[in-house]
A and B are shown apart, each in its own frame.
Chain A
Amino acid sequence: MIQTIELFPGIILRCCRSDRFKQGCLSVQFLRKMCREEAAINALIPALLLRGTKSCPDLRAITLRLDDLYGAAVGTQVRRVGDYQTTGLYCGFMEDAYALPGDQVLEPMVAFLGELLFCPVLENGIFRADFVESEKRNLSLAIEAQRNDKRVYAAGRLLEKMCSADSFGIPRLGTREEEEKITPQRAYDHYRKVLRESPVEIFYVGAAQPEQVAALIKPLFARLDRSYVNLPPQTGFSDPPGGSHCEEMDVAQGRLGMGFVTDITLRDHRFAAMQVANVLFGGGMTSKLFMQIREEQSLCYDIGSGYQGSKGIVTVTAGIDFDKEAAVKAQVLELLRQCAAGEFTEEELISAKQALISQLQGIHDSAGAIENYYVSGVLSGMDKTPEEYIRAVEKVTAEAAAQAAGTLQLHTQYFLKGVR
């Protein structure tokens, strides 16, 4: 299904050939180790690349070029995958089959992507100062905008408190302090360094043959001066307990966060069991958290848990009234105890497994989901196809799910409450 072609050492192209979609997608990701000093500058680079190229020197020229390609879209893509941060570009474009006779999209799209990545508009040999300034500003706003969405904000604060030493505590887009230190010279030097030494993952989903895609992309990278450095392997979580934290803000609704740790990561043979345990506990509308705390007791509007398999972290977040903190916490711990003690029905187990299986079955229905599944999987060390993964979920027994739930230890608590 996925064909892997090593274009050059450390530059891998993966192709999923499919003619079922009207939109093809192509992503180019440079891989970095997640670290406090680099997170912001890595996030900034792709934004700078989208400001102008030698032949399209400003935003408008870029948009006009994309409009000619039937409204193709190019965006920045900055991901956190375990201990890694990826930085790069993602494009979505109409398949050639829908273009007017004689028109092509894929070929000029790839050429333009190469131009965006490798021919940025420069001034005195470095990035233009005004572009760097305005993209720094956009980045700082994106970092601060997380305050606007209280769910995102509270979830981020919980992780920061939980992972004081682990890379997982570093915000995905870096911090304001690091953002402020960026100069046009530093940004350009870092960009050259990223091109020179980072492993590169390229992913294509679409109707073209992998060999054809490789032939289009390979020349773009041929002239790069490379001395590529491999990344250290992914690690599990080992921070000391994070305690209990409370923060006040002028909000109408409180946000509760509870962080749990487990030694099961997605590189562990018990991974599927942990996934099932998480869904049973708090993933979705039939989970214990949702059914008991929201539906039965009306203690919250929303509640759910998420499992970060690359690290071995489960977080529970809920929107609640300020005076319900103690009651909700006690309930969460009680419901986790029930999961670990195997106090769930056969139906609950089947629902949890079905929900996971449905998600996995749906991956091949969307180009974006295919890209996300394989890129995240490859980088975090989970080498199962969706089909293999489905078989692993099917085999999870009640005992295995309970044992997995039993590995969860409360590590950190966070509460965002109103000022009055």
Chain B
Amino acid sequence: MEVRNYPELKETVLWEVLPNGLTVAIVPRPGFTRKLCYFATDFGSIHTAFSVDGKAYTVPEGIAHYLEHKLFDMPGRDVSAEFAAMGASVNAFTSYDMTAYHFTCTEHFEDALRLLLEFVSTPYFTPESVQKEQGIIGQEIGMNEDAPETQIFELLMQAMYRDHPVKEPILGTVESISEITPETLNLCHRAFYRPDNMLLCVVGDVDAQQVKKIALQVIPDAPEETVTSTRVWQEELIVPKSFTSREMEVAMPMFQLGFKCQPLDRGEAAVRREIVGELAAEALFGEASRLYLNLYEKGLIDASFGGGFETVEGMAMLTASGDSDCPEKVQDAILQEVSRLTQQGIGEENLLRMKRSALGRRIRGLDSFDSVCFRICAYYFSGFDYFRFPALYRDVTEQEILDFLKETVRTDRMSLSVIYPKKEEE
């Protein structure tokens, strides 16, 4: 396997593309008992339009998540119970642009790995089981409808995006999932669960040769057909709606503010852009900013306030959220602060401190197996080797950050989403 060393992080990653098309990444953690494994596909809720050998398909919203649930079914076997019997715990999640299946264990790693690869690569859907899942996912959709933090984000996406499928909930709707059939699930599995569209990432003290061997035994070769999916959406940078709100059972108003940015490309340039966005957010309203202190002392924000730069394939935004009695005042203050900041600048010393802090936080984050596995997968799908982040921090300049802020923090690119408490009924 190719060995990549990152001396400043005291990390090593082993990489290889296997003959069946699957890429494997192993992050050794000598001396740790826990092992974590992600088997991830570059397929999320936004990938509903694609073509296979030139034939175009559009599948129902929410199918990526539905498929994630249904893959746990194997004929005559109980996948969760088998993992549990090994002392492993298995789970999965679907985001806008990725689906990942993962388990963690301390013993029986190789058996658990084999089982993970088997169940994810074995589609098994019957009309009855697909029908039954609608009840379970319907409940999950119901739970999301009661969850203010999900609602506020989904409302914001609907306000900011006209065409990009991020405006649809990851889970889909009760109506959209009722259109899902065993055939559509099989179609998505065939199109997106090809080994060359996936990454197997392991963090822990494991035998790399065994991981490769098992992945080669279990995973069949990639089928010889061409799949292309829609990954670019025509979106104006001007937002369709600048304000959206809803009433829910919350104690005080919650808000999320978004500034629409140019979507990122792939590779190093994209990650550099992400770091610029992250540092810009720090400079503008991070905890060390003037604005944060000012808003906090005026009682306009509290400790729940936070923000940053967020991306999904084909979309990017600068965002801030929290609880506030006057979200509009927070919004106005951010707009005002950006004009001061772009005029007066950040200052070399401040920028160095911000970089040191951001870098230290990322290094501390490497202790988390979950964060390492997740980031390696997410950055791999956007064409970047995650552990190369320290060099990118060093390169970012003050001018890049100020240019980013000037171009992004503008009223026509901004939407505000608010969840208000329900009014007491008389």
Interface residues of A (CB under 8 A from B): 20-23, 58-60, 63-64, 66-73, 92-94, 97-98, 130, 134, 137-138, 141, 144-145, 147-150, 249-253, 284-286, 291, 294, 298, 300-302, 319, 321, 347, 350-351, 354-355, 357-358, 361-362, 364-367
Contact = CB atoms under 8 A, between A and B. Distances in A.
Interface string B328-366: 000000000000000000000000011011111101101
Contact of B357 (A71, A138, A145): A71
Contact of A361 (B10, B106, B250, B368): B106
B169 to A, nearest CB: 14
B3 interface: no
A63 B249 CA distance: 33
B85 A347 contact: yes
Interface string B1-25: 0000000111000000000000000
B359 A70 contact: yes
A59 B106 contact: no
B287 interface: yes
18 contacts: A22-B363, A60-B287, A60-B289, A67-B288, A69-B360, A71-B359, A72-B360, A92-B364, A134-B296, A138-B303, A144-B251, A145-B323, A286-B81, A286-B84, A358-B87, A358-B107, A362-B106, A367-B367
Q: Say which size band chain B's interface belongs to.
A: 35 or more
B84 A141 contact: no
A59 B249 contact: no
B207 interface: no
Contact of B32 (A20, A253, A321): A20
A253 B146 contact: yes
Interface in B128-152: 132, 135-136, 139-140, 142-143, 145-149
B356 A286 contact: no
A65 B229 CA distance: 48
Contacts of B145: 252
A71 B364 contact: yes
A71 B90 CA distance: 33
A250 B421 CA distance: 11
A301 B139 contact: yes
Counting from the closest, the 10 A-B pairs by CB-CB distance are A70-B360, A354-B87, A71-B357, A301-B139, A144-B251, A67-B357, A71-B360, A286-B84, A351-B84, A71-B361
Nearest to A285: B80
Given A22-B367, A92-B364, A134-B297, A64 B142 contact: no
Contact of B302 (A21, A23, A138, A367): A138
A147 B421 CA distance: 11
Given A148-B250, A150-B146, A366-B367, A67 B354 contact: yes
A148 B143 CA distance: 12
Contact of A147 (B90, B251, B297): B251
B249 A357 contact: no
Contact of A63 (B31, B33, B288): B288
Given A66-B357, A71-B358, A285-B89, A319 B143 contact: yes
Most chain B CB within a 10 A radius of its CB, from A68, A69, A137, A351? A351
A67 B353 contact: yes
Contacts of B288: 60, 63-64, 67
Given A301-B136, A362-B106, A59 B293 contact: yes
Contacts of B31: 20
Contacts of A66: 357
A92 B367 CA distance: 11
Contacts of B304: 141, 145
A137 B302 contact: yes
B107 A252 contact: no
Nearest to A151: B143
Contacts of A285: 80, 84, 89-90
A93 B363 CA distance: 10
B356 A357 contact: no
- Residue among A73, A148, A291, A351 with most chain B CB within 10 A: A148
Given A298-B136, A354-B86, A361-B33, A58 B356 contact: no
B214 interface: no
A60 B367 CA distance: 27
Interface in B82-104: 84-90, 104
User: Taking each of A67, A98, A141, A147, which has the highest tally of chain B beta carbons within 10 Å of its own beta carbon?
Assistant: A67
Contacts of B356: 67-68, 70-71
Contacts of A294: 136
A358 B89 contact: yes
Given A97-B10, A145-B304, A361-B107, 8 more contacts: A21-B367, A67-B356, A67-B357, A71-B364, A98-B360, A298-B135, A354-B86, A362-B33
Contacts of A64: 288, 353
Contacts of B368: 366
A125 B8 CA distance: 47
A357 B297 contact: no
A323 to B, nearest CB: 13
Contacts of A70: 356-357, 359-361, 363
Nearest to A18: B31
Interface string B102-121: 00111100000000000000
A22 B366 contact: yes
A58 B368 CA distance: 31
B231 interface: no
B92 to A, nearest CB: 12
Given A68-B356, A364-B33, A98 B87 contact: no
B388 interface: no
A147 B148 CA distance: 11
Nearest to B360: A70
A24 B403 CA distance: 37
Chain B CB within 10 Å — which of A92, A150, A286, A367 has the most?
A286
B34 interface: yes
Contacts of A149: 147
Nearest to B105: A358
A93 B360 CA distance: 8
B85 A58 contact: no
Contacts of B360: 69-72, 94, 98
B289 A362 contact: no
A250 to B, nearest CB: 6
Contact of A137 (B88, B299, B353, B369): B299
B299 A134 contact: yes
Interface in B161-215: none
